[in-house]
Structure 1
Amino acid sequence: MTPESPNAAPAQASSRRGLRHHLVDLAPLKASPAFARLWIGGAISGIGAFMTQVAVGLQIYEITESTFMVGLVGGVALLPMIVAGLWGGMIADVFDRRKVLIAASLVAWAATLGLVTLSFWDQHLQGAGGHAPVWPFFIVTTLSAVASTIASATRGSVVGRILPEDMISRATALNGIAFGAMLTVGPALAGVLAATVGLPWTFAIDAVLFTAGFLGVWMLPALPRLGERVEAGWPVLKEGLTFLRHAPNIRMSFVVDIIAMTFGRPYVLFPALGATVVGGGPLTVGALTAAGAVGTMLTSVFSGRIKHVRRHGIAISRAIQVFGVFAALFGGVTLAVSLGGHEPAPGWGGIHWATLVVLGLAMAGMGGADEVSAIFRQTMIIQAAPDQMRGRLQGVFIVVVTGGPRVGDMYAGALATAVALWFPPLLGGVAIIVLIAILTRAQRAWREYDAHAPTP
Structure 2
Amino acid sequence: MPTTSCTPRDLPPIAPPTLKARLASALRGVALDTRPLAHPVFRRLLIGQAAAYVGTMVTGVTIPIQVYALTRSSLSVGLTGLAGFVPLVVFGLYGGAIADRFDRRTLYLASACLTWTVTLALLFQAVADLSSVPLILALVAVQAAAFAVSSAARGAIIPRIVPAPLVPAANTLYFTVGNVGQVAGPLVAGILISLPNGYSWAYGADAVLFSVLLYSALNLPSIKPTGSGLRTRGLRSVFDGLRFIAAAPVLWMSFAVDIAAMTMAMPTALFPAAAQLRFGGGVGRLYSALAIGSVVAGLFSGWIGRVRRQGRALAIAVTAWAAAIALAGTVHQLFAAAVLLAAAGAADLVSAVYRETILQTYAPDAMRGRLQGVFTVVVGGGPRLGDLRAGAMASATGLGVAWTGSALLCLVVVIVGALLVRPFWRYTVTPAQPSAPPTAPEAAHQP
TM-score (norm 1): 0.89
In the alignment, what sits opposite 2:155?
Answer: 156
Q: Is the 8 A contact 1:294 1:364 kept in 2?
A: yes
In the alignment, what sits opposite 1:179?
Answer: 178
1:311 to 2:289 alignment: no
In the alignment, what sits opposite 1:216?
Answer: 216
- CA positional deviation for 1:37: 0.8
- CA positional deviation for 1:9: 6.5
Equivalent residues in 2 for 1:4-403, closer than 5 Å: 10-30=18-38, 32-122=39-129, 132-197=131-196, 198-227=198-227, 229-230=230-231, 232-280=233-281, 284-333=282-331, 337=332, 355-403=333-381
Distance 2:36 2:106 in 1: 23
Which stretch of structure 1 is more off in the superposition, 84-93 or 216-225?
Answer: 216-225
| Letter paired with 2:172 | A
Q: Is the 8 A contact 2:261 2:410 kept in 1?
A: yes
| Letter paired with 1:191 | G
SS in 1 for 2:399: coil
Q: Is the 8 A contact 2:148 2:376 kept in 1?
A: yes
| Letter paired with 2:318 | I
- CA positional deviation for 1:230: 2.3
SS in 2 for 1:196: coil
SS in 1 for 2:95: helix
Structure 1 stretches lacking a partner, 5+ long: 1-5, 126-131, 338-354
- CA positional deviation for 1:36: 0.7
Name the % identity. Answer: 37
Q: Is the 8 A contact 2:227 2:365 kept in 1?
A: no
Distance 1:19 1:325 in 2: 28
SS in 2 for 1:380: helix
Distance 1:410 1:135 in 2: 16
Distance 1:238 1:379 in 2: 22
- CA positional deviation for 1:219: 1.3
Distance 2:316 2:225 in 1: 36
Q: Is the 8 A contact 1:237 1:392 kept in 2?
A: yes
Moved over 2 A (4+): 6-11, 227-232
Q: Is the 8 A contact 1:327 1:428 kept in 2?
A: no
| Letter paired with 2:327 | L
- CA positional deviation for 1:208: 0.5
Q: Is the 8 A contact 2:279 2:334 kept in 1?
A: yes
- CA positional deviation for 1:316: 0.6
Q: Is the 8 A contact 1:298 1:368 kept in 2?
A: yes
Distance 1:209 1:232 in 2: 35
Distance 1:216 1:448 in 2: 40
Paired residue total: 418
Q: What is the RMSD of the two structures over their aligned residues, measured on CA atoms?
A: 1.5
In the alignment, what sits opposite 2:385?
Answer: 407
TM-score (norm 2): 0.91
Give CA-to-partner distance per residue, 1:110-163, whole Å, 9 cap, x none.
0000100111222xx6xxxxxx22101111111011101110111011001001
Max Rg structure = 2
- CA positional deviation for 1:244: 1.3
Distance 1:304 1:252 in 2: 25
| Letter paired with 1:24 | L
2:418 pairs with one of 416, 420, 440:
440
Q: Is the 8 A contact 1:149 1:399 kept in 2?
A: yes
SS in 2 for 1:223: coil
SS in 2 for 1:279: coil
| Letter paired with 1:378 | E
1:249/1:231 CA distance change after superposition, 3 Å: closer
SS in 1 for 2:231: coil
Distance 1:444 1:207 in 2: 46
- CA positional deviation for 1:367: 0.6
| Letter paired with 1:427 | G
